[in-house]
């Protein structure tokens, strides 16, 4: 049968601009050299995620052929691939993700690279339920690379970016829970102010909360990412012109992060995962966790220290490991990353 010829998307000008138009970036396996050029220029191609601190993680996990591991946050599968390479075709890796959309794409990509179900089990599951991933199995190594993937951030339809307009969604799993837009409608001014202050230390939480609630009081809506951006811009209009642009950008980043943490119950699920983690590790088993903001890192640090004092871990990271300046240049999204690790007591 004759193969259907797929036309590339049409776009104005010489370069694709919108997320959907970046057809080469959405097909990185077939446009390797173009994609490599984009990465070298310090950008992440629209359809992929660059894994962070890979060598440092592999050094911590000390993976041996024949072992059984768990990647709590599959994402694009960059770390998964590198961990599978260490297993050399022997042993098994379990991987989970709450995002059914990107998870299925990654499953297909890894299967066509030779990593099928005999080596890799992928489940649509929250890592809070780590004890249900492989009941009766203890893991030699576990990795959790928290937060969002670049594919999720860059797709305006998912609502994670305020740079382009899209529905104010922010759910990692769009098949369950309430969107950020719905969540905003449920909160009163004080609750919203507390959410912004507690989840992201937003210094203008009071002004932003007031601006959002005022819109609702006047019968308006805050349903899209650009509507929320415009509200934050308005709320910070009292700032001197010279510092306003940067302050608005930072407040938007923090506000979107605070809402994301809330709609995905990120602190609650991380807490549950950390509580269960030592009990799913083999004696001597090793865990590595990448965090991206101070709230996450604090939870990981406190849990590891507490469990070390209780004798559940024999060793834990005393300090965080951070990406090198070279890694941050190549991948600016690595800037805020911190790695912590722990070893299960024998
Ligand atoms: C930073 S990305 C992981 C990137 C991955 N390490 C790679 O190399 O491509 C984080 C991923 O974790 C997923 N995730 C976030 N919270 C989760 C949770 N509680 N349970 C399972 N997956 C989660 C997100 O949907 C996202 O795909």
Quickly list DSSP for 65-109: TT-EEEES--TTSHHHHHHHHHHTTSSEEEEEES-HHHHHHHHHH
Number of compact structural domains in the chain:
2
Q: What CATH number does the domain containing 245 carry?
A: 1.10.150
- Residue 338 has a pLDDT of 98
Q: In terms of domains, do 109 and 136 share one?
A: yes
Tens-of-pLDDT digits for all 346 residues of the chain? 344 455 555 556 666 666 666 656 666 667 777 767 766 776 676 778 899 999 999 999 999 999 999 999 999 999 999 999 999 999 999 999 999 999 999 999 999 999 999 999 999 999 999 999 999 999 999 999 999 999 999 999 999 999 999 999 999 999 999 999 999 999 999 999 999 999 999 999 999 999 999 999 999 999 999 999 999 999 999 999 999 999 999 999 999 999 999 999 999 999 999 999 999 999 999 999 999 999 999 999 999 999 999 999 999 999 999 999 999 999 999 999 999 999 999 9
22 lies in a domain? no
What's the domain range around 286? 54-76+83-150+267-301+335-344
5 lies in a domain? no
243 lies in a domain? yes
Q: In terms of domains, do 290 and 242 share one?
A: no
161 lies in a domain? no
Side-chain-side CA neighbours of residue 266 (13 Å): 28
- Residue 48 has a pLDDT of 86
Using the atom order of ligand 1, give the atom closest to the CA of residue 77.
Answer: 9
Which of 239, 263, 287 represents a domain boundary (last residue)? 263
Burial of 190 (0-12, 13-18, 19+ CB in 10 A): exposed
Burial 14-25 (b: 16+ CB within 10 A, else e): eebeebebbbbb
Give the residue carrying structure tokens 């379990």.
94
- Residue 231 has a pLDDT of 97
Cα(290) to ligand 1 centroid in Å equals 11
Mutate to test the pocket of ligand 1, among 49, 72, 98 (most ligand atoms within 8 A of CB): 98
Structure tokens at 20: 């959907």
Q: In terms of domains, do 257 and 272 share one?
A: no
Cα(96) to ligand 1 centroid in Å equals 8
Please enumerate, by residue number, every residue annotated as part of a binding site for S-adenosyl-L-methionine. Answer: 77-79, 97, 127, 145, 152
Q: How many CB atoms lie within 10 A of CB 261?
A: 22
Instruction: Please state the pTM of the whole predicted model.
Output: 0.90
The Cα–Cα gap between 261 and 196 comes to 10
Q: Which residues line ligand 1 (CB under 6 A)?
A: 49, 51, 72-73, 75-79, 96-99, 102, 126-128, 145, 147-149, 172, 269
Q: In terms of domains, do 243 and 283 share one?
A: no
Geometric angle at alpha carbon 269, from 59 and 194, rounded to 5°: 115
- Residue 3 has a pLDDT of 45
Cα(104) to ligand 1 centroid in Å equals 13
Q: In terms of domains, do 221 and 252 share one?
A: yes
The backbone torsions φ and ψ at residue 244, rounded to the nearest 5 degrees and listed phi first, read -65, -45
Q: In terms of domains, do 59 and 141 share one?
A: yes
239 lies in a domain? yes
Using the atom order of ligand 1, give the atom closest to the CA of residue 73.
Answer: 12
Which of 263, 287, 311 represents a domain boundary (last residue)? 263
ipTM, 2 dp: 0.99
Structure tokens at 331: 């991948």
The backbone torsions φ and ψ at residue 94, rounded to the nearest 5 degrees and listed phi first, read -100, 145
Cα(47) to ligand 1 centroid in Å equals 15
Q: In terms of domains, do 201 and 67 share one?
A: no
């Amino acid at each position: 049968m004759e193969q259907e010829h797929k036309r590339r998307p049409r776009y104005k000008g010489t370069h694709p601009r919108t997320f959907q138009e970046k057809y080469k970036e959405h097909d990185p396996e077939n446009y390797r050299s173009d994609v490599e050029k984009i990465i070298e220029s310090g950008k992440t191609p629209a359809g992929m995620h660059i894994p962070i601190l890979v060598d440092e993680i592999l050094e911590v996990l000390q993976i041996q052929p024949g072992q059984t591991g768990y990647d709590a946050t599959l994402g694009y599968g960059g770390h998964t691939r590198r961990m599978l390479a260490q297993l050399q075709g022997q042993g098994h890796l379990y991987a989970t993700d709450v995002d059914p959309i990107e998870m299925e794409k990654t499953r297909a990509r890894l299967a066509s690279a030779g990593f099928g179900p005999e080596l890799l089990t992928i489940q649509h599951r929250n890592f809070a339920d780590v004890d249900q991933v492989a009941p009766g199995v203890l893991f030699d190594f576990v990795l959790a690379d928290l937060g969002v993937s670049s594919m999720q951030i860059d797709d305006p339809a998912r609502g994670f970016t305020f740079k382009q307009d899209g529905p104010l969604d922010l759910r990692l799993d769009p098949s369950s829970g309430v969107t950020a837009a719905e969540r905003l409608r449920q909160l009163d001014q004080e609750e919203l102010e507390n959410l912004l202050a507690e989840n992201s230390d937003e210094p203008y939480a009071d002004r932003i909360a007031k601006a959002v609630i005022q819109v609702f009081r006047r019968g308006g809506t805050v349903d899209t990412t650009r509507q929320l951006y415009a509200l934050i811009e308005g709320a910070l209009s009292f700032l001197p012109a010279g510092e306003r642009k940067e302050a608005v950008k930072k407040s938007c980043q923090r506000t979107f992060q605070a809402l994301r943490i809330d709609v995905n119950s990120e602190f609650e699920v991380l807490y549950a995962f950390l509580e269960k983690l030592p009990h799913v590790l083999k004696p001597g088993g090793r865990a590595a966790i990448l965090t991206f903001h101070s709230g996450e890192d604090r939870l990981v640090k406190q849990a590891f220290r507490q469990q070390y004092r209780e004798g559940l871990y024999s060793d834990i990271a005393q300090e965080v490991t951070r990406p090198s300046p070279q890694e941050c240049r190549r991948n600016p999204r690595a800037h805020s990353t911190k790695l912590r690790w722990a070893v299960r007591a024998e």
